[in-house]
Amino acid sequence: MEKIQAQITPLLGYLSDNLILQALLIFLLSGILAWILDRIVMASLAKVIRKLSATSDAQILQLIRRPIFKSVILLGLASATALLNLDAGWKQIIFSLLATIALIIWTGFFIRLCSLLLTQMAANNTRYPWLHFKTLPLFENIAYIVIIVISVYYIFSAWKIDMTAWLASAGIVGIAVGFAAKDTLANLFSGVFILADAPYKIGDFVVLDGGERGEVTKIGLRSTRLLTRDDVEVTVPNSVMGNTKIINESGGPHEKYRIRVRVGVAYGSDIDLVREILLNVASKVEDVCKDPEPRVRLRQFGPSSLDFELLCWVDQPVLQGRILDRLNCAVYKQFRAQGVEIPYAKQDVYIKEMPKLPGVE
């Protein structure tokens, strides 16, 4: 700034010796320069970028136009202030005020820029799997906090306020808070890792080590909420979710879920007929996937039955109970119609000898 001022001052001396007039002239020139940059240079760049179909670049250019325009005006005001014969204290106040306004303007720009870039990254799940629209608010908030903290630091520096004592106090307070709220912080950090790593997402059906099974309805920074099939909401701290085995029934390459219909038939039954009945039942029940195809397996020779298993898939884990009920009912009806016996466990008791009662021959 001082170098630019030293080069401009001799030129202004040729025009007028009045400092106020020189200051007004600098302010006017800064306004003209800002208008040229905004209306000619930036507008031309925007047209070129639109022709190249660079949507993201055009959005960034649109964001930066106003901060540049306002910054040039502020530089003109600062240069004009430096020319005036003002008291050093007043000049420092004006310069600090202009610097604060500039920092606020650019803070807003960087916040909008981060939001734009993070949104575009979240749309590209293949390249950035850890960033998606579910975790986007978390990363946006972290970016906002970092930008605002840096901006506040430089605003204090512009007003010549020593931040050393503030930083030391913040460190001591941070240590105290860390010890007092270690469980809360554990849940907080676990929530951050869960959102970043995404072992499950909202809408997934998960099974916990304790046997709880339900749909994930909310992933917060402190806890995760599940809605069970009994419409009971279960709130689990994120520190527990981050350190336990979780079965994600909706995970994998697709959301399809395999269900098993276990049924036993009597020994001597026609196993080919049993297999045909089970496959026909699976093909006629709605919501059973055609791909992968249903299949039947003879699993074992049980104590009193031949144990078969019908394997088929449904589109979502939530359909498991409903489709399993339909399949069981249809299998039972078809077995009765075709004369296939479903045995039940029974025991035969043989009395080898009746005990003799006293006094009875």
Separation CA 316–CA 321 (nearest Å): 11
Distances (CA, A) of 77 to 6, 24, 83, 86, 306: 16, 9, 10, 14, 92
Higher model confidence: residue 142 or residue 282? 282
Banded pLDDT at 253 (limits 50, 70, 90): confident
At residue 341 the predicted structure's pLDDT band, cuts being 50, 70 and 90, is very high
Tally of CA atoms within 13 A in the half-sphere of 47 that contains its CB: 6
Distances (CA, A) of 344 to 34, 191, 307: 90, 50, 12
- Contact by Cβ (8 Å): 216, 201: yes
**By the 8 A CB rule, do 308 and 298 touch?**
yes
For residue range 72-90, what is the model confidence (pLDDT) as tens digits?
Answer: 899 888 888 887 777 888 8
Q: What is the mean pLDDT of residues 182-199?
A: 76
pLDDT at 12 over 60: no
d(CA 58, CA 28): 29
Selection from 222, 142, 141, 231 nearest residue 183 by Cα: 222
Q: What are residue 206's DSSP bridge partners?
A: 214, 248
pLDDT digits (tens, 9 = 90+) for 272-318: 999 999 999 999 998 899 989 999 999 999 988 999 999 999 998 88
Mean pLDDT of 199-206: 88
pLDDT digits (tens, 9 = 90+) for 46-66: 666 666 555 667 788 888 888
What's the pLDDT tens digit per position in 219-234?
A: 877 889 999 988 999 9
